[in-house]
């Protein structure tokens, strides 16, 4: 006897990347930042006293909202704090999508989106990305025609790493009848000289909701802290109605506020990641494994059939050597491995293992 709702019974849950218990592995499979959190964040953690835990946290994460607003040149009413960026995705669905109505997304993209849609009992309106991993010109039109009230767009794109310019986001937000959630989980790794800025568009589009997370850029995936930015009319029902009371705990809020203050230190890791990303991309290309230019902390690497038996076989052979990368068994991704950017030492170990496997 199952007590599940029928759509829960039918659906498959999210498949997270493997989190091996052993610490001496080379872990390049879940896009964690290879560098530690800022020193001041660890100091703040050690300085926490029992009093901070005895009391309930701020129900609105007020301190964090103020800090984030200052960082982005917005007001606290433009900001909502969430339990990881993932919670914002779920809250956007709960807040903006009538159960059973479609949710829009580009294909391929973050594999959690369709899972959250299934939980909500909503069908997915999928629009395939073109050969450059960009949405087609009629992307918004097709969402409108399908009656979509919430569309997810991950930018920089996962899992390809490619970046869509703000002008495209501007046009899509302007053309959509519903809400556009731009998932900027990896935006910290974009080239600073590009001046990539989508946040300022919230003043032009009252349907633009931006997701940020401290998991990748700030090396705090274990803390579970993310936030949303948008027009107060979009943020207010999330912050004041659909969000759980105290979804962000006192420890997380305090450390997240410190992390934003220490942005300059985190930015050093972004620099190091960008540098290593290009070194790895070049080294892989020399071996005949190509990846699109990435604005993120990972590469989507195409593995020719003749190299180590192809992507799936290479994934398995690397795993046997304690090197974890990600393989997605789905169209357009099957021939690829997604490799998170690690330290120079981790990349040396990866390349040595690959050479060994390829020459076997």
Ligand X SMILES: *Cc1c(COP(=O)(O)O)cnc(C)c1O
- Which residues bind to ligand X, rule: CB under 6 A? 31, 84-86, 110, 154, 158, 183, 185, 213, 215-216, 221, 226
Classify 55 as helix, strand or coil: coil
Classify 299 as helix, strand or coil: strand
CB of 224 to ligand X, least distance (A): 7
CB of 359 to ligand X, least distance (A): 33
CB of 2 to ligand X, least distance (A): 29
- CB nearer to ligand X: pick between 93 and 357: 93
- CB nearer to ligand X: pick between 110 and 133: 110
How far apart are alpha carbons 172 and 162 in whole angstroms? 17
Tokens read off for 117:
């849609």
Tokens read off for 163:
């970046």
- CB nearer to ligand X: pick between 297 and 354: 297
CB of 31 to ligand X, least distance (A): 6
CB of 303 to ligand X, least distance (A): 21
* Pick from 277, 128, 81, 103: nearest CA to 179: 103
- CB nearer to ligand X: pick between 180 and 185: 185
264-to-45, 71, 342, 343, 346 alpha-carbon distances in Å: 19, 12, 20, 19, 24
- CB nearer to ligand X: pick between 226 and 308: 226
Whether the CB-CB separation of 134 and 128 falls below 8 Å is answered with no
Classify 219 as helix, strand or coil: coil
CB of 182 to ligand X, least distance (A): 11
Per-residue b or e along 38-64, where b marks 16 or more CB atoms closer than 10 Å to that residue's CB: beebeebeeeeeeeeeeeebbebbebb
- Full 3-state SS string of 142-204: HHHHCCCCEEEEECCCCCCCCCCCHHHHHHHHHHCCCEEEEECCCHHHCCHHHCCCCHHHHHC
CB of 352 to ligand X, least distance (A): 28
């Amino acid at each position: 006897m199952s007590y599940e709702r029928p759509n829960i019974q039918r659906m498959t849950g999210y498949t997270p990347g493997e989190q091996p218990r052993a610490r001496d592995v080379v872990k390049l499979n879940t896009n964690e930042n290879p560098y530690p959190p800022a020193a001041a964040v660890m100091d703040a953690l050690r300085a926490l006293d029992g009093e901070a835990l005895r009391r309930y946290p701020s129900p609105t994460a007020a301190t964090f909202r103020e800090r984030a607003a200052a960082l982005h040149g917005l007001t606290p009413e433009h900001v909502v704090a969430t339990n990881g960026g993932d919670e914002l995705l779920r809250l956007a669905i709960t807040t903006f999508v009538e159960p059973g109505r479609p949710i829009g997304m580009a294909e391929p993209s973050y594999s959690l989106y369709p899972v959250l849609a299934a939980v909500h009992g909503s069908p997915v309106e999928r629009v395939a990305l073109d050969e450059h991993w960009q949405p087609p010109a009629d992307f918004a039109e097709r969402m409108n025609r399908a009656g979509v009230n919430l569309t997810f767009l991950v930018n920089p794109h996962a899992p390809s790493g490619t970046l869509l310019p703000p002008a495209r986001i501007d046009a899509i937000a302007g053309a959509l009848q519903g809400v556009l959630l731009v998932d900027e989980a990896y935006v910290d790794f974009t080239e600073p000289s590009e001046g990539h800025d989508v946040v300022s568009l919230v003043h032009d589009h009252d349907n633009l909701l931006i997701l940020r997370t401290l998991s990748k850029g700030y090396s705090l995936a274990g803390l579970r802290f993310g936030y949303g930015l948008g027009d107060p009319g979009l943020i207010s029902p999330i912050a004041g109605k659909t969000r759980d009371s105290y979804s962000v705990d006192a420890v997380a809020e305090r450390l997240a506020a410190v992390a934003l203050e220490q942005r300059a230190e985190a930015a050093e890791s972004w620099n190091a990641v960008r540098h290593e990303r290009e070194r790895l991309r070049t080294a892989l290309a020399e071996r005949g494994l190509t990846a699109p230019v990435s604005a993120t902390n990972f590469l989507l690497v195409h593995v020719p059939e003749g190299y180590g038996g192809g992507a799936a076989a290479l994934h398995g052979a690397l795993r046997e050597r304690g090197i974890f990368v990600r393989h997605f068994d789905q169209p357009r991704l099957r021939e690829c491995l997604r490799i998170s950017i690690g330290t120079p030492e981790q990349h040396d170990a990866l390349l040595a293992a690959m050479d060994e496997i390829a020459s076997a």
